[in-house]
Amino acid sequence: MPGFHDDHLPHLQKLLRQVVRDYDDHIAWFYTPMALPLLNELRPRLVVYDCMDELASFKNAPKQLLQRESALLKVADLVFTGGQSLYRAKRERHPNVHCFPSSVDASHFVQALDRANSHPTHKDIPGPRLGFYGVIDERFDAGLIEKVADAHAQWQIVLVGPVVKIDPESLPKRPNIHYLGQHPYESLPQFLAGWDVCLLPFALNDATRFISPTKTLEYMAAELPIVSTPVADVAEAYSDIVSIAADAPAFIAACEAALLASPEEHATKVQKMRKVLASTSWDSTVEKMHTLLQSTPRRQAGRDPAQESSEATANVNRLRQHDAVRFIKTGIIGAGPTGLSAAYHLGHDAVLLEKNSMVGGWCRSIKDNGFTFDYAGHIMFSNDPYVLELYELLLGSNVHWQNREAWVYSKNVYTRYPFQGALYGLPPEVIKECIIGAVEARFGSVGKQGQTAPSTARANDCCADGGVALPGSKVAALEKRGPANFEEFIYQVWGAGIAKHFAIPYNRKLWAVPLTEMETSWLGGRVPLPDLEEIIDGALQPVGKPMGPNARFGYPLRGGFQALVSGFVPHIKGTIELNADVSHISPKQRTVTLRDGRRYQYDNLISTMPLPELVKMIGEEAPDEVKQAARGLKHISVRCVNLGVARENITDKHWIYYPEDTIFHRIFVQGNASPECNPPGGFGITCEITYSPTWKPLPVSGQELIDRCIQDCIKVGMFREDDKIIAANEIDMPYAYVVYDHARAKNVETIKSWLAMHDIILAGRYSEWEYYNSDHAFIAGKKAAEAVKWMEKKRAVAVE
């Protein structure tokens, strides 16, 4: 079992009780947040969190680690970090954070200066030897080592250390690569004595983002040349001593230069190494830490840090073995923004079940080679004061506000979004058609006898994808004799020109279903409604600023959109169960069964899962008309292709609509959402492609889809032919957009009415089968929590 498993705790608690009896005045010193439950056995006068690494970023890290770290930071009096990058990551999360980079036991490693004292394993390995010692895991760039070995067959690559968390068979096998396994600390100077170059071949990923390798200084004590990948703490502190190489050719060239360096060049670096070593020692680190321990105010005898942490850690799902049937007062299915909001507003009585290994739903973020990508593009904007308060609660200072730059790319030019309000720059004949069409749509077309046929419909948008919203006062309602479907709506509201050149091709591309099959009730409040004067003005001159209330929007500064939804976790007083994949729901028995066999009996149930999936989970308990209604619900899917390019600032835009011949309908410019989404020298974008197995299947997938997106990015000028792609992945969102077809309202009502009879509350975009943005989702979760409380009061009155 993993460390600090629930089954370990009783034994560890017993041992701690025995120790604490002899030490009333003690310090609780945490090296891992996973040990936080043991604080209940202690009454320390000081709590220290010694954060030597970002453990949550390591492969197979416990899913509770981030949650427990948030709780530990709330109760800690003093926080130490292991390097500058880690210090920068933690300093805003605690008022008393101090950086203590690794030092070196110089007297031990200077033994390596006796080059005759080489390790016995070297006797069968000729020179030159390029060596590395340390754990070989997901932080180790095996591909880089393979390329170094292939570049010079005479070089001998010596790797000392255990292989952990990765398959040893996945490591490169070459005659000149030698895996020597784990050796004791005492023998490390002997290995150094036999090497010609020391290597720091770290992969650039989440696990290495904050590392500060102790071996850097140990290599320096041996006075050997060092070559490293651009790990932040090494590159920032020692680039004048350590050769920094960003890719395999540069790494190989740096190794070649190190082997061919003149004695004078080597002596210059050795002097710099000695200067660094003279200014650091573990003794000095201990003295500085001791001073901080003495100067930090001690806790009062009555102050109980265990009590402080109990509420903060109560929401962490345990590592327990499966129980039989557990009773829960309120179950919530799905930890997307709606489910998280519902759990937050319900308090202690909620159990949040999430099938993934992290919270967030489709608002999750992923990391790839230093880039942060969201599951499709998300931004923060709202007219609701309560949502704005939630933003502040969830993110604090971790937010980045900026003016929106949304654009349309058509006819080989960029025009501001929304299309109808910014025609300037398009070909004259296109502008003419758009203006004439808008006039005819507003006032009616002029017939041969000079009579007009007025439009019966007025509304707000020709691109309703939730990208922009307006207050209700700016939204025109459809009249009683309005259009029969969405396609008619576009022609009647915006006219033939705007329909032809943007609205019809874009919406066909976006919705992936025939527009004649969509009704129009869902269109209210999504984009600005410029009048004819605004349309004409936007055709005669550039539009100087974006339109609508999200003209200024927010986005988390660090952590992607994930940071916003993860911000709920420390405030949720109930329980979060991750990796909890629901397989069956019984409304009659009021039970939820998970795929791993766990079962929960509930009083109240809130579902945020897609409505068709919910009905499938209920199975035969659902009547035929409910199952038929669920089968009638339509949706479209989105495949996102995330691309990271080795060039900075490739555009100043935030998202761009593509109505013409590209595989994607929109690009979300992830790299401009926040500067922290990009690694140094890189820039990320997300290409969004809608599809439907019935109407618009994906033409290609996998690498073919990635290649197609890259080529289309070059075609529209987003990328250059010579751009180097350094990150590429695809994300699938099977349920993305709810389709408002003509049968939707009746189908939803049929399902919703039956579920209400069984006290199952539907909340959020996919359960209510509504067009919600993330701010709507927050409110939907709050309303669901209020509905549960109302039902409980109703039951209490009935009992009385």
Give the mean pLDDT of 755-778. 92
Alpha carbon 259 to its chain centroid, in Å, reads 42
Q: Is the pLDDT of residue 20 over 90?
A: no
Start-to-end C-alpha separation, the chain? 48
By mean pLDDT, which of 316-325, 331-340, 688-697, 742-751 is the weakest? 316-325
Query: pLDDT tens digit string along 456-506?
Result: 444 444 555 544 443 333 333 344 456 789 999 888 888 999 999 999 999
Query: Which parts of 560-632 fold into alpha helices (H)?
Result: 562-566, 611-618, 624-631
**DSSP notation for 519-564:** -SGGGTTSS----HHHHHHHHHS---S--SGGGEEEE-SSS-THHH
Phi, psi of 475 (to 5 degrees): -105, 125
> How would residue 42 be classed by pLDDT, with cut points 50, 70 and 90?
confident
CB atoms within 10 A of CB 397: 7
Burial grade of 262 (CB within 10 A; 0-12, 13-18, 19 or more): exposed
Query: pLDDT tens digit string along 325-380?
Result: 889 999 999 999 999 999 999 988 899 999 998 899 999 999 999 999 999 889 99
Angstrom distance (rounded) from CA 110 to CA 533: 80
Could you tell me the two tokens for 3? 């460390």
Phi, psi of 175 (to 5 degrees): -60, -30
Asked whether 761 and 784 are in contact (CB, 8 A), the reply is: yes
Nearest to 506 by CA among 636, 659, 655, 637: 659
Nearest to 127 by CA among 249, 215, 259: 259
> How would residue 299 be classed by pLDDT, with cut points 50, 70 and 90?
confident
Asked whether 149 and 177 are in contact (CB, 8 A), the reply is: yes
Query: Which parts of 700-773 fold into alpha helices (H)?
Result: 702-715, 744-757, 765-768
pLDDT score of 796:
77
Q: Which letter does DSSP use for residue 600 in this model? A: E
Burial grade of 491 (CB within 10 A; 0-12, 13-18, 19 or more): buried
Nearest to 591 by CA among 760, 792, 793, 753: 760
pLDDT score of 465:
52
> How would residue 312 be classed by pLDDT, with cut points 50, 70 and 90?
very low
What is the Cα Rg of the chain in Å? 31
Name the 3-class secondary structure at 659.
coil
Burial grade of 453 (CB within 10 A; 0-12, 13-18, 19 or more): exposed
- Cα distances from 690 to residues 162, 287, 386, 501, 635, in angstroms, run 45, 60, 32, 20, 10
Angstrom distance (rounded) from CA 581 to CA 342: 19
Highest mean pLDDT among 454-463, 652-661, 784-793: 652-661
Phi, psi of 419 (to 5 degrees): -50, -45
H or E element, residue 338: helix 337-346
Phi, psi of 129 (to 5 degrees): -110, 130
Region class of 223: left (phi > 0), else alpha (psi between -120 and 50), else beta: left
Highest mean pLDDT among 97-106, 202-211, 726-735: 726-735
Nearest to 561 by CA among 316, 331, 439, 381: 381
- For residue 26, give the amino acid letter: H
Give the mean pLDDT of 403-414. 95
| Structure-token match 């492609």, residue found | 689
Long-range contacts of 9-15 (CB under 8 A, 24+ apart): 9/37, 9/38, 12/38, 13/38, 13/40, 13/41
Total residue count of the chain as it appears in this document: 800
Phi, psi of 98 (to 5 degrees): -135, 140
Angstrom distance (rounded) from CA 440 to CA 455: 8
Q: Regarding predicted confidence, which is higher, 88 or 395?
A: 395
Region class of 72: left (phi > 0), else alpha (psi between -120 and 50), else beta: alpha
Could you tell me the two tokens for 34? 């996973």
> How would residue 387 be classed by pLDDT, with cut points 50, 70 and 90?
very high
**DSSP notation for 211-268:** ---THHHHHHHTT--EEE---HHHHHHHTTTSEE-SSHHHHHHHHHHHHH--HHHHHH
pLDDT score of 455:
45
pLDDT score of 306:
52
The number of helices, as runs of H, and strands, as runs of E, in the chain is 26, 30
| Structure-token match 């070196």, residue found | 104
Q: Is the pLDDT of residue 91 over 50?
A: yes
CB atoms within 10 A of CB 750: 17
Angstrom distance (rounded) from CA 495 to CA 517: 20
H or E element, residue 85: helix 84-90
By mean pLDDT, which of 69-78, 128-137, 508-517, 545-554 is the weakest? 545-554
Q: Regarding predicted confidence, which is higher, 137 or 466?
A: 137
Angstrom distance (rounded) from CA 162 to CA 249: 27
pLDDT score of 207:
82
Angstrom distance (rounded) from CA 592 to CA 604: 11
Could you tell me the two tokens for 393? 């609660």
Angstrom distance (rounded) from CA 778 to CA 781: 5
Give the mean pLDDT of 721-743. 94
Q: Is the pLDDT of residue 39 over 60?
A: yes
Cis omega before residue 126 (within 30°)? Answer: no
Query: pLDDT tens digit string along 522-566?
Result: 776 443 345 788 889 999 999 877 766 568 899 999 999 999 999
Could you tell me the two tokens for 400? 């980045």
H or E element, residue 717: none
| Structure-token match 């949502």, residue found | 387
Asked whether 260 and 196 are in contact (CB, 8 A), the reply is: no
Angstrom distance (rounded) from CA 173 to CA 157: 11
> How would residue 18 be classed by pLDDT, with cut points 50, 70 and 90?
confident
Phi, psi of 648 (to 5 degrees): -95, 155
Predicted model pTM: 0.61
Alpha carbon 177 to its chain centroid, in Å, reads 37
DSSP lists the bridge partners of residue 760 as 605
Nearest to 599 by CA among 353, 316, 342: 353
> How would residue 298 be classed by pLDDT, with cut points 50, 70 and 90?
confident
Nearest to 275 by CA among 267, 265, 283: 267
Give the mean pLDDT of 135-151. 95
Nearest to 99 by CA among 1, 236, 257: 236
Q: Is the pLDDT of residue 728 over 50?
A: yes
- Cα distances from 784 to residues 258, 580, 766, in angstroms, run 65, 21, 14
Angstrom distance (rounded) from CA 284 to CA 147: 40
Give the mean pLDDT of 509-528. 78
With a CB cutoff of 8 Å and minimum separation 6, the contacts of 310 are 40
Region class of 430: left (phi > 0), else alpha (psi between -120 and 50), else beta: alpha
Nearest to 143 by CA among 369, 303, 367: 369
Query: pLDDT tens digit string along 195-210?
Result: 999 999 999 887 888 8
pLDDT score of 799:
65
Could you tell me the two tokens for 686? 């997300």
pLDDT score of 477:
38
Q: Quote the Cα angle for 685-690-691, to 5°.
A: 140
Could you tell me the two tokens for 421? 């309000």
Query: pLDDT tens digit string along 250-289?
Result: 999 999 999 999 999 999 999 999 999 998 989 889 999 9
DSSP lists the bridge partners of residue 27 as 46
pLDDT score of 529:
47
Name the 3-class secondary structure at 480.
coil
